[in-house]
Chains A and B, each alone.
Chain A
Amino acid sequence: MSRTVFMQGNQACAEAAIVAGVRFFAGYPITPSTEIAEILARRLPQIGGKFIQMEDEIAGMGAICGASLAGVKALTATSGPGFSLKQELIGYASMTEIPMVIVNVQRLGPSTGKPTAPAQGDVMQARWGSHGDRGVIALYPSTVRETFDITIQAINFSEKFRTPVILLLDEVIGHMREKIVLPAVESIKLVERKKPTVPPDEFLAYKPDEDGIPPMPAFGDGYRFHVTGLAHDETGFPSGSAEITNALIQRLHTKIENHKEEITLYQEYFMEDAEMAIVAYGVTYRSAIAAVKQARKKGLKVGIVKLITIWPFADEVINKIAKQVKVVFVPEMNYGQLVNEVERVAAGQAKVISLPKVDGNLFTPQEILSALEEEVNRRG
C-alpha cells in the first residue's frame, strides 16, 4: 500500500535505503548529511542490520567496502569535506568492483565553506574526484519524493553494475520537508548482485559475463577469492601485463557506457515546440521549471531538460536538444561545471549560456527568467 508522509530528503534517503535492502551503514557525522546516519542508527538494528559510526570519513568507506564484500548492501553518507576524504576508497571500490552507495548531501565549498548553505559544487568531483580513469554513475534527485526513488535506483545500479554509485543531494533537498506519497513496497523493483553459477574450483573472480560484469560471491560463501586495488587479471591477482591492464581499465568504463541508455534518467517538459532550452538538475530544476512556466505565459518558446543521471553524461539527450533549439541555458549553483559537458556535446549546434551562482543561495525563478528575456531581447 502506498502511504502519505511528511519527511525530509535525508529521511527519504534513509527509508529508501532500508526498502532497497541496505543493511549496513558506516560513516562519520557531517552537516548537512547527519540525519541519514542518525535515522539508520535507530532503524538498522530494528531489522537486524548494522550501523557503525567510524573514527573518520575514510574508515566509513573502508567499513562499507568490507561489509559489501561480505555480501551485505551498504551505504554511507557525507558532505563536501568528507566526500573529498572518501575519494581514495571510492576509487578502490571502482577498481575492485564493490557495490555501494555514497550519498553526498552537498554544501558550499571549497573547504569548510558554508556547512548549511546549498551548492552544487561537487558535480565534477563526483566524476573525477578519485585518481585514475574509471566509469562513474552519479544520480541527482530534485525533490524529496524523487530522493526516495533515486536512492533505490542508486542501490540497484550499484548492485547490477558492481560499482560505487554517487547519490548527489542538495542541502535544501536533504533538509526540506515535503508531503509525499511513497509507493507500495511490493511495487518496488529491487536488484541483487549476480552470484556465480559455476562451482568454486571453476570460479574466476574477475571474469566478466557478456554484459561486462563479473558475478560476485560473498566472503564466506565458499568461493575463496582475492581482492586487490592493484591492476589485476580475471583471477583477481595482480598482473603487470599491459594488455590485461588495458582490458581492465577499458572494462571499468564500458560496463557502464554500454548500458548508458538504461542508466540515463532524465525528464523533459515543454520541449515539443521549444526554441530555447534549460538544462538543470537538483533543486535548481525547481527554480528553472517555475521560470519556464512564467516564460510560457509570456509567449516564450522555452522548454526544460531535467537531468537525474549526471554521470555518465547524457550525451544523446543533450545532442538532440542542441539540434532542436537555438540556445541552451545551464543554471547551476556552482561556478559553471556541467555547462562544460553541455558545451562539449552541443559543439556549436546551439549557443550555450552558463548561469553560475556561488553565493550559497538558491536561484529564484526570476533570475532565470531574466536571463531568458535578456537573450530574447538581444536576439530581437
Chain B
Amino acid sequence: MDKHAEKFLRTDHLAHIWCPGCGNGTVLGAIVRAIGKMELDQDKTAIVSGIGCSSRASGYMDFNTVHTAHGRALTFATGIKLARPELNVLVLSGDGDATAIGGNHFIHAARRNINLTMIIFNNGIYGMTGGQYSPLTPTGSIASTAPYGHMERPFDVAQLAVAAGATYVARGTAYHATLLTDVISKGIEHNGFSVIDVITQCPISFGRKNKMGEGYKMMEWQRDNAVMVSAAAKMTQEQLAGKFQIGVLHHSEAPEYIAEYEKIIARAQGGQSK
C-alpha cells in the first residue's frame, strides 16, 4: 500500500463501499497524497463531508472526521474553522451535495473566502440513490429521473465558484491523478476558500445508462476530453468545443474570513464599536 494511504487511511475500515470501476478511490488517494505532501498534522486536521457516495470517504480517513447531513458539510466546516482556526479543514462533497441541496452554502462559503479546501467529487449524477440527475449532469444525458434525456443545463461549477468569490479554483480528473494531487495540495496551501472540481466516473449509475462503458473506458473519456489550462490558451474555440479544462483555473488574493474576524475581535476589545 502507498505510504500515504497507509498513514492516513483507517485501513481497518476498508474495503470501501464504492462500486468496481468507481473513481472515488482514486480521488481519495490523491487527497491523502496531497495531505502527505503538505505534511498536515493528523490531529490538527478535520475532514468534513456531506451525504452521498463520495462523502463516505471521511470515514476512511484517519483525522478528526465528520460525516454531516446532506448538503451541510460547509456549514459544519465553517463552525469548526471559526471555533478552532488552527485546524486545517477539508470538505468533501459530491456534485449533488455541493451544488443542489448545498448550493446556498457553497456560494456563501465562497463569498466569505473562509480558509477551507473543498473537493467536489463530480461524477455528474446521484450515485448512491441510483442515478438521478444533479445540477452538474450534462444536458442530454440519461438519468433515472431523466429517462428521455436530461433537458436542464448544468452549472459550470468552477465559474460559479469564481463568481461567488472563491479565491482558488482548480479542476482535475480521476485519470490525471498526479495533477489532481498537485491541484489539491495547492488548494490546501492557499489561504482562502479553495474549490477543486474533480471529474470522476460512476460507471454503474451514469456510465451504463449513457453507454460510456466500464470505469476504465470512462477514464479514457476523461483523458481524451480534458485540456490543460496552459494548452487551452493556445487553442481556438472550435478546438475547445466539447472539451473541459483542467489545472488551476483561478487564483487570486482577497481578505480571508478568519483573519478578518480576528481584526473584529481586536476592534471589539479596543472598545470601538465601528
Contact = CB atoms under 8 A, between A and B. Distances in A.
Interface of A: 23-24, 26, 42, 45-46, 48, 50, 52, 54-56, 58-72, 74, 88-89, 92, 218-222, 224-230, 237-238
B261 A50 contact: yes
Contacts, number: 141
A227 B268 contact: no
Is chain B's interface secondary structure helix, strand, loop, or mixed overall? helix
A226 B83 CA distance: 18
B59 A237 contact: yes
A220 B86 contact: yes
A230 B108 contact: no
B83 A45 contact: no
Residue of A67, A72, A88, A222 with most chain B CB atoms under a 10 A cut-off: A67
Given A46-B268, A226-B65, A74 B79 contact: yes
B245 interface: no
Contact of B62 (A52, A224, A230): A224
B13 interface: yes
Interface residues on B, range: 35 or more
Nearest to B59: A226
A226 B79 contact: no
A65 B59 contact: no
B78 A63 contact: yes
B144 interface: no
B68 A226 contact: no
A332 B82 CA distance: 40
Interface in B164-180: none
Contacts of B69: 62, 88-89, 92, 229
A112 B67 CA distance: 32
B39 interface: no
Given A66-B83, A67-B82, A220-B84, A225 B75 contact: no
A184 B13 CA distance: 51
A238 B86 contact: no
A55 B104 contact: yes
Given A67-B82, A74-B79, A224-B62, 6 more contacts: A62-B69, A66-B75, A70-B80, A72-B83, A220-B84, A226-B59
30 contacts: A24-B79, A26-B78, A45-B267, A45-B269, A46-B269, A52-B78, A58-B72, A59-B78, A62-B79, A63-B75, A65-B79, A66-B48, A66-B75, A66-B80, A67-B80, A67-B82, A68-B79, A69-B64, A69-B66, A70-B83, A74-B79, A218-B84, A219-B46, A224-B65, A225-B64, A225-B65, A226-B59, A226-B67, A227-B65, A230-B67
B16 to A, nearest CB: 12
A255 to B, nearest CB: 21
Interface string B67-107: 11100101111111111101100000000000000001101
